Structure 1
Amino acid sequence: MAFFIRWLWKYLNYLIIFFTPLLILPLPLIIPSLESRCGYVIILMALFWCTECIPLAITALLPVILFPMMGIMESSEVCIQYLKDSNMLFIGGLLVAIAVEHWNLHKRISLRVLLLIGVKPALLMMGFMVTTAFLSMWISNTASTAMMLPITSAVLQQLSDTEAQAEEREMDLVTSKAWPEGLENQAFEMDDTTEDRAMSTKESPEAEQRRLKREQKYLNLSKGLSLSVCYASSIGGTATLTGTTPNLILKGQVDELFPGNGDIINFASWFGFSFPNMVLMLATSWLWLQFMYLGFKYSEKSSGCVANKDGDTEAYQVMKKEYKKLGSMSFAEVSVLVLFVLLVLLWFTREPGFMPGWGSALFNKDKPYVTDGTVAIFMSTLFFIIPSQMPRCGKANVDGFSVLCKPRSPLKPPPALLNWDVVHEKMPWNIILLLGGGFALARGSETSGLSLWLGKSLAPLQFIPPFAISILLCMLVAAFTECFSNTATTTLFLPVLASMATAMKLHPLYVMLPCTICASLAFMLPVATPPNAIAFSYGNLKVIDMAKAGFILNIFGVLTINIALHTWGMAMFDLHTFPDWANVTTTP
């Protein structure tokens, strides 16, 4: 029996792949309609995504096979869904992030921020959280966590070593004062046997107690900082439209299901709503982790961070040394930074909302010919054009900026800021297929009439107060994303939420927007998201540590998101009214 169970577990993925389609096959056979066929595809993909029996990106390609075979959509129409404007925005944003990582600009920014904040215990955790969150707004959460955690380990190790040395000096001073007068010289005349015996003696009970207390203190500090980094990376990704994949899925689904929405979700509008919410969530997380692992009376002296007369500590010197290793900014780093700043400015000023942007001023006011995806692709293309060095000749080169002069011999041209080999290695192509699979499901649901059927079925929910619906759905999504990919979670939930909102005559963003952000609140389990897994791999954390901290943070996250939704979110998106463009999915 035990052997049979082990065999089943070993071949579980193959059994799921083979039996799952057969088990749910009666659905389209008993109810022969387009709605049931589309429901069959969605249920099959949901089970495959949740169990990950085959790669997520391959599951996302199933609509290309099943929709034409079942007569739901033509193959040409399905394939078009896999490269929409949101995918272009995602690709452009990732190219910029890859350039930032390739030239180590993200490390320079993080170390500079930490040097400005310092290593005082009350601010150390805040400094790491702010830095990680800022980086996660622009580069991947995984890369931000992987870069910041080694820095936290180095700082904590130096803090612990400094305090241990201070305790040893203090114990030596106490021992020297304990010698009676006249016996001090005799101590140095002990024979080798006595000296060896003295060296082999164990540490005193007082010294052992102090050592254990110090180790426990720094273990708690290490746990707190590790959790703060991985949590801040997930929170920071919610602030920008390109920060994490669920945000782009929301934009793509809204544009797909409600074509006349007037570009209601763009970089500026998303940032205006989500950035204050991110700050609120970050502050709440810092207070909770500070309370759990450091305590609000965690003094500077108790951590070993006692500054010297110059105001520097050993840990501060560690970060300063790491920053000096980077050297001065090269021409490539300056170029990447300038292009990055220009990209953000163009995103913000294209259609800021409170005033006409350059997109409507230079192009058509009625149609959004230029989108955030256009800007992202344009700026990211420049990385493949601008050289990584100034044209140089001879050996004149100062801090990466070369002197212009007439070349005496043919020189090899400098490489561009980015090349395709680097992009091919770091670009997560599977996410692009996942995005396309979600858009294909949304289009299939609308074409088959499944969205209309779901909307009518969920209509009785209109008797529940809207704020209660929002909180319950947020909690459901936050719980679901603890076990499954946040990309798969938003892909499955958003079309259903859109149908429910239109049936209840609610603004679609009233439920879609908070649930999308809640999909990033994966705080409880190491398997919930890659940043959690990276933090857990360092060995200082246990599952119970992450679960205790993450459970409360999930509740705080749901509450803060709903506070944001019912305050400035109502004013920004006019969530009080049901917009005319939302009637699209309710028409037969």
Structure 2
Amino acid sequence: MLKNDRKRFLLLLVIILVSLLVSFIPIKGLSLAGRRTLGIFVFAMFGWITEVVPLYVVSMIVVALSALVLPPVVEGLKYSYFYRALSSSTIVLFAGGFFLASGMQKYKVDSILTNLVLSRTGTKPGSVLFGMMLTTAFLSMWMSNTATTALMITVALPVIKYLSEGDPFRTGLILAIPFDANVGGIATPIGTPPNAIALQMLNAKGITISFGRWMSWGLPFSLILLLFAWFLLLQFFRPDAERIKLDIEGVKITGRHVLVIVTFIVTATLWLLSSVLKISSSLIAFIPPVVFLSTGILNREDFKSIGWDVLILIGGGICLGMAMQKSGLSSWFLQVLHLKGASLILIILVFGLLTYIAANFMSHTAATNLLVPIAIAAGGNITPVVVYIALMASVAMVLPVSTPPNAIAYSSGLIKTKDMARVGVIIGILGLILGLPILLLLM
């Protein structure tokens, strides 16, 4: 066994032992079911933070443990209850988004949009930067933040080669992409996994948020952060060049491109009007896979490449939330934090800050998975609290490890951690401050 493998095995063993210890030690105010769930919570937390095994594997273990250890100690609870987490309406909605994004990427509809925007931005550095940021944010509303960043980095690199080696604007152009991929994902329910987790856990409490309603606060929040980020990047990384040469390659449009574009327009429009038409967003999500798979737009290999691991990761988080609520662990956490009966504003701020700090050092999805169930136990008007947690997870982007888009941008070798941190901290603080009044005003 290799040295790294031994280290991972020992770390996994320690996590398991600590989780077992927590499960069996008597804790004041916590029932047997609560202690069992606390053990699962500890395993999930350290598993997601350390990534000792893949994140989706941790989620699978969470589902299996919940179904195994909780039904015997919670009266009337069946193991099949926890399987619902993997087949919830939110999982279906997100899967539909993945199929839509896969079709767009395969037929380069994203590149068509990028070319369309950049060909109209002009050649002034500020205009080029804004065009790239706007395109990145829009694509991230419908595609994964990681895929959007990977695409836009390839668009940015040819632009950067026309700038001199010492031009600070090179750094600004690259930094803009991960920041706006993260910010753009806020705007729609399918933009990023934390949004899906928030929606599903609210749905489990009988609170339904339509696609359009989410966008009514997510889109303004996203646009304001985009404009602020654009201003910051221009101030911190002032361009030396007055003009930038753009090398834009065209994409030949075929009938399949048209079908993908029409499917995107129809699906997105129906999602926006779902509350008016009284149609479930998850039902609409079947349109992309049905159209693309039946017409050959996507094939078996494309089907296999869909982000099933991300869906399982989200499902594990949903399952953990279900377990925490059924066992009373969420309420116990609130008592420990002395937030039971606290004002709505205080609860929002505390959980927003906790999420922001945690999500800078661990997966945004994992941070949301861990904190939303605790926030829900506060009772009362939980919608703004849960949505705020999802928003704060997305604005946590201080370090290269904070989010995959940051890591991709950092790997280009054109930015330093300090560059990412000084802009990321300011955007995060603005998000913390701005998110609260927007939520309370629009909700």
- Provide the rounded CA distance (Å) in 2 between the counterparts of 1:553 and 1:458: 27
Tell me the CA shift for residue 131 of structure 1. 0.9
What is the match of residue 212 of structure 2? 268
What are the residue-to-residue correspondences of 1:12-161 with 2, within 5 Å? 12-31=7-26, 33-72=32-71, 73-158=77-162, 160=163
What is the match of residue 393 of structure 2? 519
Tell me the CA shift for residue 106 of structure 1. 0.5
Q: Are positions 1:540 and 2:409 aligned together?
A: no
Contact kept? 1:239, 1:275, Cα under 8 Å: yes
Read off the aligned partner of 2:441 and give its amino acid letter.
T
- Provide the rounded CA distance (Å) in 2 between the counterparts of 1:94 and 1:429: 9
Q: 1:471 to 1:459 in 2, by over 3 A?
A: closer
Q: Are positions 1:375 and 2:284 aligned together?
A: yes
What is the match of residue 495 of structure 1? 373
Runs of 4+ in 1 over 6 A off after TM superposition: none
CA deviations on 1:414-452 (whole Å, 9 max, x unpaired) are xx2221212212x11111111211221122222223234
Q: Secondary structure at the match of 1:241?
A: coil
- Provide the rounded CA distance (Å) in 2 between the counterparts of 1:95 and 1:85: 16
Read off the aligned partner of 1:129 and give its amino acid letter.
M
Q: Which has the larger radius of gyration?
A: 1
**TM-score under structure 1 normalisation?**
0.70
What is the aligned counterpart of 1:358 among 260, 277, 281? 277
Q: 1:82 to 1:215 in 2, by over 3 A?
A: closer
Tell me the CA shift for residue 525 of structure 1. 1.0
- Provide the rounded CA distance (Å) in 2 between the counterparts of 1:293 and 1:513: 33
Contact kept? 2:334, 2:340, Cα under 8 Å: no
What is the match of residue 361 of structure 2? 483
Read off the aligned partner of 2:261 and give its amino acid letter.
L
Q: Are positions 1:438 and 2:388 aligned together?
A: no
CA deviations on 1:342-364 (whole Å, 9 max, x unpaired) are 1111111120xxxxx222xxxxx
Read off the aligned partner of 1:83 and give its amino acid letter.
S
What is the match of residue 207 of structure 1? none
Tell me the CA shift for residue 270 of structure 1. 0.5
What is the aligned counterpart of 1:227 among 166, 171, 175? 175
What is the aligned counterpart of 2:192 among 195, 220, 244? 244
What are the residue-to-residue correspondences of 1:146-225 with 2, within 5 Å? 146-158=150-162, 160=163, 214-216=164-166, 218=167, 220-225=168-173
Tell me the CA shift for residue 272 of structure 1. 0.9
CA deviations on 1:83-102 (whole Å, 9 max, x unpaired) are 11111111111101100101
Tell me the CA shift for residue 468 of structure 1. 4.1
**TM-score under structure 2 normalisation?**
0.92
CA deviations on 1:180-230 (whole Å, 9 max, x unpaired) are xxxxxxxxxxxxxxxxxxxxxxxxxxxxxxxxxx532x2x11100000111
RMSD: 2.0
Contact kept? 1:536, 1:542, Cα under 8 Å: yes
What are the residue-to-residue correspondences of 1:296-315 with 2, within 5 Å? 302-305=240-243, 315=245
Contact kept? 1:67, 1:74, Cα under 8 Å: no
- Provide the rounded CA distance (Å) in 2 between the counterparts of 1:226 and 1:123: 15
Contact kept? 2:124, 2:242, Cα under 8 Å: no
Tell me the CA shift for residue 245 of structure 1. 0.8
What is the match of residue 192 of structure 1? none
Q: Are positions 1:384 and 2:296 aligned together?
A: no
- What stretches of structure 2 of length at least 5 have no aligned partner? 72-76
What is the match of residue 420 of structure 1? 300
Contact kept? 2:97, 2:285, Cα under 8 Å: yes
Contact kept? 1:526, 1:543, Cα under 8 Å: yes
Contact kept? 1:87, 1:435, Cα under 8 Å: yes
Q: How many residues align?
A: 433
Tell me the CA shift for residue 48 of structure 1. 1.0
Read off the aligned partner of 2:65 and give its amino acid letter.
L
Read off the aligned partner of 1:147 and give its amino acid letter.
L
Tell me the CA shift for residue 10 of structure 1. 6.5
CA deviations on 1:274-309 (whole Å, 9 max, x unpaired) are 001111110111111111001xxx6xxx5142xxxx
Q: Are positions 1:550 and 2:424 aligned together?
A: yes
Task: Report the identity percentage.
Answer: 27
